[in-house]
């Protein structure tokens, strides 16, 4: 589907589907007023008779509207409040696209740019429309014998009120489409089951991405390489699995300037059984998504490469499968990490922090300016924040602030949790430098405390996406979200702008 932007008048449209907004209290948007006028009060009549209430996300497709030339009219409910919240705007967009999924109409013209959104600009709305359109059209039916019907829409035109902001609008559209492409890559990889999406498979995908962009190079470290580097923590997690672990290193060079890179580190546990500290069956379903951090690194780098952002990025993915069994690591084993620090394993289910610790130490050789890790690290963050915000912890306040802001601007929010020294005591061990768990209380914070012991040499932020990267539990609703690709993409765009 092609997306474009254009100044257009609703009353002059012919072979298209007009997408127009209606508020809950019967208030019409400017385009709805135009259409109402040309159809001699058709829309007002519908509302008066209670045929359309205008509730957020409600849609009503109409055909053969008298006194009009357009092929279809899609009314979209916009709720009560104006200006509306950013997340409502996004919800309205996605429902509008979903309503067109089964329609035969080939072209749509979207007037929802008229809606007033709290604190947001026209550019922001265009970006959200581009991302929301991709979200509404997303399918994952690779393994279905009967494919769901795909959209007949081949052109989606976003209406602009005037031509004054044309350059900014074009840029917003380009960014929105690049972010949508990154999100889709992340979702597709995350949704694959672990019998397909193994560490080797993720490494292959990274290489494919490297082939698609000349600015991107990819190197894979094998277990024997990791052995030489002394990655005792990462390798212990892999020890019970028949799959070979991979450390995937991507380098994106968007500027010739010698500029310290931004490092993105992804947890890539392709399946987390819990290891010998085995998960219960109920807690194990959803654990194919334990590689969402890895998928996010690839998605975010794709956005940067697609937009040719003038920054340097290093991506490091620790791809490992966590299995129980006779060769697997066990509680009370003591591991020596690449940093030289020793770790007593309390739970083999706290494997994410182990693989990340060696990836973080490995990252030092790139002299990164900042390091951001992305991980489905703790069930505790789901209890604390649910599925609305990513957990953010950092050893550098300006970095935390920049990420929080990028989250707000991209409608992909994070919420900061404290990383106070007081919490560090919880991961003391009588036998090693630290233990890999800190008990039930403040589980997300003590997990970050653990990571913080491997990030002393740089500015670092940790994104715990266990609640946001996917809808993991339940049966029919399970699906990857592609988060936090939009937040990271916004952060990278912001950084590129600072450099310009």
Binding residues for ligand BES (CB under 6 A): 272, 286, 290, 347, 349-352, 376-380, 382, 437, 443, 466, 472
Which of 229-237, 262-270, 426-434, 491-499 is the region at the interface with Zn ion (rule: CB under 5 A)?
262-270
Instruction: Give the C-alpha distances (Å, rounded to integers) separating 451 from 401, 416, 444, 487.
Output: 20, 16, 11, 21
Length of the chain as a residue count: 500
Stretch 298-337: interaction string toward Mn ion, x if CB under 5 A: ----------------------------------------
Q: Quick count: other Cβ atoms within 10 Å of Cβ 84?
A: 21
Tokens 């998605």 belong to residue: 299
Bridge partners of residue 390, in order along the sequence: 414
Number of residues engaging Mn ion in binding (CB under 5 A): 2
Cβ nearer to ligand BES, comparing 176 with 352: 352
Tell whether the torsion through CA atoms of 271, 320, 448 and 192 is positive or negative: negative
Stretch 448-477: interaction string toward Mn ion, x if CB under 5 A: ------------------------------
The catalytically annotated residue of 353, 453, 483, 495 is 353
Shortest distance (Å) from residue 465 CB to ligand BES: 9
Contacts of 273 (CB under 8 A, 6+ apart): 279, 284, 287, 322, 323, 324
Nearest to 319 by CA among 426, 205, 212, 416: 205
Report the site for Zn ion in 334-363 (rule: CB under 5 A): 352
Is 49 in the active site?
Answer: no
Shortest distance (Å) from residue 249 CB to ligand BES: 23
| Angle of the 199-212 helix axis to the 292-306 helix axis, nearest 10 | 0
Shortest distance (Å) from residue 292 CB to ligand BES: 9
- DSSP string spanning 165-218? THHHHHHHHHHHHHHHHHHHHHHHHHHS-TTTS-HHHHHHHHHHHHHH-TTEEE
Does position 349 bind Mn ion by CB under 5 A?
A: yes
Contact 476, 388 (CB under 8 A): no
Cβ nearer to Mn ion, comparing 450 with 491: 450
Choose among ligand BES, Zn ion, Mn ion, none what residue 466 binds, the Cβ cut-off being 5 to 8 Å by kind: ligand BES
Cβ nearer to ligand BES, comparing 63 with 473: 473
Report the site for Mn ion in 261-280 (rule: CB under 5 A): 272
Choose among Zn ion, ligand BES, Mn ion, none what residue 465 binds, the Cβ cut-off being 5 to 8 Å by kind: none
Choose among Mn ion, Zn ion, ligand BES, none what residue 380 binds, the Cβ cut-off being 5 to 8 Å by kind: ligand BES
Cβ nearer to Mn ion, comparing 24 with 351: 351
Q: What stretch of H or E contains 447?
A: helix 443-452
Contacts of 170 (CB under 8 A, 6+ apart): 5
The catalytically annotated residue of 90, 127, 246, 279 is 279
Give me the phi and psi of 312, to 5 degrees please: -110, 140
Shortest distance (Å) from residue 272 CB to Mn ion: 4
Q: Which residue lies nearest Zn ion, judged by its C-beta?
A: 272
Bridge partners of residue 266, in order along the sequence: 317, 374
CA distance 235 to 369: 27
Cβ nearer to ligand BES, comparing 183 with 292: 292
Q: Which residue lies nearest ligand BES, judged by its C-beta?
A: 379
Does position 272 bind Zn ion by CB under 5 A?
A: yes
Cβ nearer to ligand BES, comparing 272 with 358: 272
Q: What stretch of H or E contains 74?
A: strand 72-77
Cβ nearer to ligand BES, comparing 406 with 445: 445
Q: Which is it for strands 72-77 and 17-22: parallel, antiparallel or unpaired? A: parallel
Shortest distance (Å) from residue 183 CB to ligand BES: 19
Shortest distance (Å) from residue 382 CB to ligand BES: 6
Contact 391, 417 (CB under 8 A): yes
Is 279 in the active site?
Answer: yes
Tell whether the torsion through CA atoms of 196, 200, 202 and 208 is positive or negative: negative
Cα end-to-end distance, the chain, whole Å = 32
Which of 26-34, 248-256, 267-275, 436-444 is the region at the interface with Zn ion (rule: CB under 5 A)?
267-275
- DSSP string spanning 82-98? SSBPHHHHHHHHHHHHH
Contact 377, 437 (CB under 8 A): no
Chain residues binding Mn ion by CB under 5 A are 272, 349
Q: Which residues are identified as catalytic?
A: 279, 353
Chain residues binding Zn ion by CB under 5 A are 269, 272, 290, 352
């Amino acid at each position: 589907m092609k997306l474009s932007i254009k100044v257009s008048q609703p009353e002059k449209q012919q072979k298209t589907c007009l997408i127009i907004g209606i508020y809950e209290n019967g208030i019409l948007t400017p385009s709805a007023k135009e259409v109402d006028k040309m159809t001699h009060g058709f829309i007002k009549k519908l509302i008066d008779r209670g045929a359309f209430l205008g509730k957020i996300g409600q849609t009503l497709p109409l055909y053969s509207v008298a006194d009009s030339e357009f092929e279809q009219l899609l009314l979209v409910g916009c709720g009560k409040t104006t200006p509306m919240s950013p997340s409502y705007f996004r919800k309205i967009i996605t429902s509008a696209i979903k309503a067109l999924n089964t329609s035969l109409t080939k072209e749509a013209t979207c007037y929802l740019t008229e809606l007033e959104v709290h604190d947001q600009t026209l550019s922001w709305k265009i970006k959200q429309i581009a991302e929301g359109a991709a979200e509404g059209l997303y399918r994952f039916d690779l393994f279905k014998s009967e494919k769901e019907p795909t959209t007949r829409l081949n052109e989606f035109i976003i209406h602009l009120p005037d031509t004054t902001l044309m350059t900014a609008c074009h840029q917003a559209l380009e960014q929105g489409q690049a972010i949508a492409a990154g999100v889709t890559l992340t979702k597709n990889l995350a949704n694959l089951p672990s019998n397909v999406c193994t560490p080797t498979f993720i490494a292959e995908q990274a290489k494919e991405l490297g082939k698609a962009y000349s600015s991107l190079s990819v190197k894979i470290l094998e277990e024997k390489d990791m052995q030489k580097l002394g990655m005792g923590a990462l390798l212990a997690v892999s020890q019970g699995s028949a799959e070979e672990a991979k450390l995937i290193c991507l380098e994106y060079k968007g500027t010739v300037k010698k500029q310290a890179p931004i490092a993105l580190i992804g947890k890539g546990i392709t399946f987390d059984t819990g290891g010998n500290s085995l998960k219960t069956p109920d807690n194990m379903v959803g654990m194919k998504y334990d590689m969402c951090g890895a998928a996010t690194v690839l998605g975010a780098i794709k956005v940067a490469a697609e937009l040719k952002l003038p920054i340097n990025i290093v991506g490091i993915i620790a791809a490992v499968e966590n299995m129980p069994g006779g060769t697997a690591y066990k509680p009370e084993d003591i591991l020596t990490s690449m940093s030289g620090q020793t770790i007593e394993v309390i739970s083999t289910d706290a494997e994410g922090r182990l693989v990340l610790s060696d990836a973080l130490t490995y990252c030092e050789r790139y002299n990164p300016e900042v390091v951001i890790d992305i991980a489905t690290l703790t069930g505790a963050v789901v209890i604390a924040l649910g599925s609305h915000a990513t957990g953010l912890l950092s050893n550098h306040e300006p970095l935390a602030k920049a990420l929080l802001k990028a989250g707000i601007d991209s409608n992909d929010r994070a919420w900061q949790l404290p990383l106070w020294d007081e919490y560090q005591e919880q991961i003391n061990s009588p036998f090693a430098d630290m233990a890999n768990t800190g008990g039930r209380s403040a589980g997300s914070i003590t997990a970050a405390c653990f990571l913080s012991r491997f990030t002393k040499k740089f500015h670092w932020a940790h994104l715990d996406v266990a609640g946001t990267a996917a809808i993991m539990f339940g049966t029919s609703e399970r699906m990857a979200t592609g988060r936090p690709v939009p937040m990271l993409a916004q952060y990278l765009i912001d950084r590129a702008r600072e450099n310009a």
